[in-house]
Amino acid sequence: MKKFVFLLVIMLYIQTIDAQCIPDRHSTSWYDGWVSCTASQSPNPDRGISHWIMYNFGQPYSLTTSKLWNSNDPAHLEYGLQGYTVDYSLNGVTWTTLGTFSAPLASGSPFYEGAEGPDFGNAIAQYVLVTALSNYGGNCFGFSEMKINIKTQGIGIEEKTLTEIVAYPNPFTDVLNVKFFRSSASLQAFAEIYDLTGRNVYNKTFTLPQTQGEVTLSLDDMNLVPGIYNLHIRYGKEVKVLKVVKL
DSSP 178-211: EEEES--S--EEEEEEE-TTS-EEEEEEEE--SS
What would the pLDDT profile of 149-202 be if each residue is shown by its tens digit? 987 643 333 333 445 677 778 788 877 877 766 544 556 778 888 888 888 888
Share above pLDDT 90 across residues of the chain, in percent, rounded to a whole number: 30
Closest of 237, 244, 145, 128 to residue 189, by C-alpha: 237
Half-sphere exposure of 155 (CA within 13 A, CB side): 8
Residues 109-142 have pLDDT tens digits of 888 889 999 999 888 888 899 999 999 998 999 9
Q: Is the pLDDT of residue 145 over 70?
A: yes
Tallying the residues shown for the chain, one arrives at: 247
CATH topology for the 29-150 domain: Jelly Rolls (2.60.120)
Give the integer Cα–Cα distance in Å for 174 and 166. 17
Measured between alpha carbons, how far is 157 from 235 in angstroms, rounded to an integer? 10
Stated pTM of the model? 0.57
- Residue 239: C-alpha distances to residues 50, 125, 173, 219 (Å): 31, 10, 24, 21
Q: What pLDDT does 175 receive?
A: 79
Domain ranges of the chain: 29-150, 164-246
State the Rg of the chain over Cα.
23
Average pLDDT rounded to a whole number, residues 216-228: 72
Quick one: pLDDT at residue 59?
Answer: 75
Q: Provide the pLDDT for residue 87.
A: 95
The one-letter amino acid at 106: A
Which CATH architecture fits 164-246? Sandwich (2.60)
